Structure 1
């Protein structure tokens, strides 16, 4: 079941909301159990063969976490339990997500026929990383004893389950334990609907609306220079509004239940460096990679060489997390290289004179955006060969066929760029602040309540009208 579908919007979500608040009469744990069961139902609509795998993963990690929290084991055995837990999670993820990739490469190298087609469980990357963080924190003594229903809801919570954000136990489980969110709050429901409507419009109106232009670059054997750029930029903005739309919809849905999800998207195309980009794009993944991979590897504590090595390892694995293909590995490697160059410039680059600060900032913004677009070509391409072929077309201005059609397409790209670069993002419009659990506060004076309400209603209406066909989110299969 997709957020951008009539059954979800008009049947599933209202029924779950009503049941959640009604269950509060049965005791503080009843709404938690109801929401966990509803999340499993949501998951089963599109992925019912793997519900048992999800439940087994929850049971396995809860038991491992309980052993680590109990502290009845000696330190050596506690570490062995942690290793067993993380290894079990990674093995499961590896079998379902990477076994086919590994075997296909073995077949290529040795002319064998081991490759198999393994169906990828939806959301396995998200709920695996969520639980690995839980186990590591349990080993570090940063986890309290959580009741099984609250832990199960933490893992299965349907707004995040299929495409993130990657949740952290300290942000979510205390909210599930609190009684405040189990009573209907009209203000939070209203703002949740507004944020959901904005996200729905981004998905069905903007992301799906520009999708046909992507074919100009990625579904043609020999696109011209202008077609290659239009297609590559179309994918750049399709992915932007698709992921931004999902992130908004997840936050809006959760807010209706009185639960604040962490931000996962903060206008990344406004970034003026790659470091800034990764503070804004897939923010919870960036935090996970930093806290549970980059820093444990040594971070920047052992000199520049190891720092750059750790950056490359982190981004290579981050690329592989997105998908089992060499295109994703190259995408991760490019971003690792970008980050190394960015850090080297900060440490060793010449100071910029005050009079050049503004033009230097514009140049940094444009260079960052260009670097991101080039990397997205590998992210989207079906193979390394097709990615390199497209990049060669983008670098060859001698083959231009810029007619009336291409002019209109270019103007459409410019409109999307203007929205991404200059329009306020959803949290700026609504004042959403997950850290302080506020919404509707600290918004600009131009954002008067009637305008916000009417704008949100219009976005919701146009978003619903834009639902015309089955349109998965791009991150749905990661």
Structure 2
């Protein structure tokens, strides 16, 4: 069941109405929401509901045992169970095929059977949520919740399939008391849902069908111009597709009375890769930081260990996205780039300290002052108020003062703006280049795309004005300051409820009229 469909709209209308009707009675509301979430998850394949039920029971039992006995071995067993389920369903085929190919190269038979294991939708997301729950209980930052509360947390349908990755400490306290319908920010929820529909249906799906999929599926049939447009197009597609799901999920949760953490914050406006990962899929970035990078030692064990921890964290982050060497290489490249950025920052800081030290060494030392002649009280007070002469000379001769006098403030601002935009462009194009690995089905296809990007001439019939407009609009949605959206929502909130509903309904009709009768494609992150 996909958000932008008639089936989900009908499902949500019924669930929202009954949810608010039962909200004053938690003993009825919780089983109802849990049943609705299981129905939502099992709509495509009911067998996978048993998987999430098993995950809930295992992790709840482990959390209670950890809280009671404080035994690290129980935590290790829980983590092994969670990663074992994830590994079997998501990585067994990749591992077995990789071993088979490696042994075939040296003439040995394959030791593992090659099985086709169906991948449950959203298994990575609810597994990471379960892991954070048991780890937080072990750390003492959370207490075990009642079984029904934990089951609702893990299966809550707005975030179940593709996030955001909501932590137990963020969600479970909201179950303590019934939600208040008067405190629901309906305007923000409506804007998030409507904006998500636009990004998904009008931008992401259109770019995928008319530009990205044809080029990436058969790169040998397309020119350099089409490949370049498809690379930019995929950068827009994946941002609009994934942020659309997050926006709709957050909006749906708000309409049910719950708040989720934000997942995107204008990532393509970042001036460094470190900033990019603080803005892109923010709930995953924080999860990897708190449950992988920091437990490995973070930046507390020296420079080389910090670099190694970054590489491990980002490579595992790449593997989390998919069972393919393209994802592993994608994560490793981002890890190497983050290491390079950190080394450059260290080198620049060292150079700045050396420049300051050299500037201080060139400042002439003041001569010893002769005894001052008697002076009037008024003259002494005036000079005391102005400050000691040595302080004035030091301030005037300091390296920072010399740099300030080197040019007018406007010149510094212009230079800083140019450097800022150059950094944004560099980060954006690195991210676009690595998205090729993310989208390509294998390394050979990615290599062919990069080769033809610089060598394939010819016409570019896929580079249409509509495709270029979608790319520009998609990039604009990733760059508009948040204050603009807040101001628009505030003005919309001043309109009466009837016109609000009419305007939103008309907007949705226009969206589907523009797109036509094409089916809504599954969200990209469904397979992760």
TM-score (norm 2): 0.81
Q: Is the 8 A contact 1:429 1:447 kept in 2?
A: no
Tell me what 1:469 maps to. Answer: 519
Q: Is the 8 A contact 2:207 2:467 kept in 1?
A: no
| 1:119 and 2:178 aligned | no
2:457 to 367, 383, 400: 400
1:219 to 217, 226, 238: 217
DSSP-derived class of the 2:42 partner = helix
Tell me what 1:411 maps to. Answer: 468
| 373-382 or 32-41, larger mean C-alpha shift | 32-41
Distance (Å, rounded) in 2 between the aligned partners of 1:418 and 1:54: 37
Q: Give the 3 Å change call, closer, same or farther, for CA 37–417 of structure 1 in structure 2.
A: closer
| 135-144 or 413-422, larger mean C-alpha shift | 413-422
Q: How big is the shift at 1:447?
A: 6.3
Unaligned 5+ segments in structure 2 are 356-402, 404-411
Distance (Å, rounded) in 2 between the aligned partners of 1:159 and 1:306: 39
Q: How big is the shift at 1:66?
A: 0.8
Query: 1:202-228 CA deviation, whole Å, 9 max, x = no partner?
Result: 111111111120035312242321111
Distance (Å, rounded) in 2 between the aligned partners of 1:86 and 1:243: 27
DSSP-derived class of the 1:55 partner = helix
Q: Give the 3 Å change call, closer, same or farther, for CA 36–472 of structure 1 in structure 2.
A: same
Q: Give the 3 Å change call, closer, same or farther, for CA 199–413 of structure 1 in structure 2.
A: closer
1:280-319 equivalences in 2 (<5 Å): 280-319=279-318
DSSP-derived class of the 1:406 partner = coil
2:99 to 93, 106, 111: 106
Distance (Å, rounded) in 2 between the aligned partners of 1:121 and 1:403: 38
| 1:194 and 2:208 aligned | no
Q: Is the 8 A contact 2:203 2:470 kept in 1?
A: no
Tell me what 1:4 maps to. Answer: 4
DSSP-derived class of the 1:400 partner = coil
Q: Give the 3 Å change call, closer, same or farther, for CA 404–14 of structure 1 in structure 2.
A: closer
DSSP-derived class of the 2:295 partner = helix
Q: How big is the shift at 1:236?
A: 1.0
Tell me what 1:95 maps to. Answer: 88
Q: Is the 8 A contact 1:243 1:473 kept in 2?
A: yes
Q: How big is the shift at 1:444?
A: 8.1
DSSP-derived class of the 1:29 partner = helix
TM-score (norm 1): 0.89
Distance (Å, rounded) in 2 between the aligned partners of 1:79 and 1:187: 41
Distance (Å, rounded) in 1 between the aligned partners of 2:423 and 2:82: 40
Distance (Å, rounded) in 2 between the aligned partners of 1:249 and 1:406: 30
Distance (Å, rounded) in 2 between the aligned partners of 1:132 and 1:158: 18
Larger of the two Rg values belongs to structure: 2
Distance (Å, rounded) in 2 between the aligned partners of 1:244 and 1:429: 18
Q: Is the 8 A contact 2:226 2:462 kept in 1?
A: no
Distance (Å, rounded) in 1 between the aligned partners of 2:461 and 2:60: 60
Tell me what 1:381 maps to. Answer: 440
Q: Give the 3 Å change call, closer, same or farther, for CA 450–189 of structure 1 in structure 2.
A: closer
2:495 to 450, 454, 457: 450
Distance (Å, rounded) in 2 between the aligned partners of 1:456 and 1:423: 21
Distance (Å, rounded) in 2 between the aligned partners of 1:335 and 1:221: 24
Tell me what 1:322 maps to. Answer: 321
Unaligned 5+ segments in structure 1 are 432-441
DSSP-derived class of the 2:43 partner = helix
Q: How big is the shift at 1:18?
A: 1.2
1:152-171 equivalences in 2 (<5 Å): 152-171=151-170
Q: Is the 8 A contact 2:223 2:460 kept in 1?
A: no
| 55-64 or 226-235, larger mean C-alpha shift | 226-235
